[in-house]
Amino acid sequence: MLGFDLSQPRTLEEALALLDQGDPAVRPMGGGTALMLMIKAQIFKPVRLVSLRHIGGPFEGIAVSADGSHLRFGAMTTFSEIEHSPLVTQHFPAVVQTMKTLANVRVRNVACVGGNLAHADPHLDLPPVWMALAAQVRIVSKNGERLVPVEEIFAGYYETTIEDGELISEVCVPLRPAWRSTYVKVTTRAIHDWPALGIAISVDFSGRRVNDLRIVLSAALDKPTRLDAAEMVLRGGEIDEVSLRRAGEAAVAEVEIHSDNRGSAAYKNHLLRVHLARAFHSLIGA
């Protein structure tokens, strides 16, 4: 591993000044779990890493917003904090469920919310869940801040729309008590391994009738992706075997799934059909 500088600013202003270098070898660092692997593999050779660990403020903590409309997660919140948070358990049990099979406890003790999103690896478990929950990210820079839906920060494989000199400060997830959500992690090996595909679903039900919904597919594509066609099949109708079969076929038709060492495209298409239906059955208790 080549040497590099590690800066540990104490304020947001200091951090932004250190990052405003116009140099791609100067990067922010949250928990550093993915970044260190990339450095060791010499995929990334930094000149300077700017640690966000001591900034505090909006980068820390889990709390209900002042107006009660959403739950905010500071960008430096670790996965272990999420996993054991009473607030998250109360409002978003699907997020806690996701934590149980995400990597391992050593990673969860260090990995942070903001860095996980900025890394933009399509195999990650949490980004599709944020998308299904209609979460937004607050992005700050010297020029101010902007609030964008999570899906809008992913541009492709390891690519985001976050500009140099910008930082994710928090994730804001709307509180929607009527909605039920789940995440299905489909692996071909151990449950903590990278998924062959992930399916995140959030639904507003009236009995078995779907008032509204969001379905997100991950891992089998270059980025987490809303399954709009499958949503259209189910929105406004009742969940039954016919509608779920039609939704599965619509999902397979609207995306181009990749073959890799976790399975062929044909195999993953089959997994998508099967696990999409199973996820809805679990949500309605059938």
| Phi-psi domain of 68 (left: phi exceeds 0; alpha: psi -120 through 50; beta: other) | left
Residues of the chain with pLDDT under 70: 1-2, 286
Q: What is the pLDDT of residue 153?
A: 97
Q: Measure the CA–CA gap between 30 and 170, rounded to whole angstroms.
A: 12
276 CB contacts (<8 Å, ≥6 apart)? 199, 201, 215, 230, 244, 247, 248, 251
Q: What is the pLDDT of residue 1?
A: 57
Please, are residues 249 and 230 in contact by the beta-carbon 8 Å criterion?
no
109-154, pLDDT tens digit by residue?
999 999 999 999 999 999 999 999 999 999 999 999 999 999 999 9
DSSP-derived letter for residue 52 is -
Q: Measure the CA–CA gap between 196 and 216, rounded to whole angstroms.
A: 14
What are the beta bridge partners of residue 263? 260
Q: What is the CA radius of gyration of the chain?
A: 19
96-106, pLDDT tens digit by residue?
999 999 888 99
Residue with tokens 């430096």: 76
Q: What is the pLDDT of residue 44?
A: 87
8 CB contacts (<8 Å, ≥6 apart)? 51, 53, 54
Please, are residues 180 and 203 in contact by the beta-carbon 8 Å criterion?
yes
Residue 44: how many other CB atoms lie within 10 Å: 16
Q: What is the pLDDT of residue 245?
A: 98
Dihedral sign for Cα 130, 237, 241, 247, please: negative
Q: What are phi and psi of 219, to 5 degrees?
A: 75, -40
Q: What is the pLDDT of residue 2?
A: 66
Q: How many residues are listed for the chain in this entry?
A: 286
Q: Measure the CA–CA gap between 76 and 147, rounded to whole angstroms.
A: 17
Residue 197: strand, helix, or coil: strand
What are the beta bridge partners of residue 173? 71
Please, are residues 272 and 217 in contact by the beta-carbon 8 Å criterion?
yes
Question: Which of 45, 54, 92 has the alpha carbon at shortest distance from 73?
Answer: 92
Q: Which amino acid is at 239?
A: I
Q: What is the pLDDT of residue 59?
A: 96
Question: Which of 10, 19, 80, 71 has the alpha carbon at shortest distance from 47?
Answer: 19
Question: Which of 214, 212, 239 has the alpha carbon at shortest distance from 151?
Answer: 214
Q: How far apart are the first and last CA of the chain?
A: 53
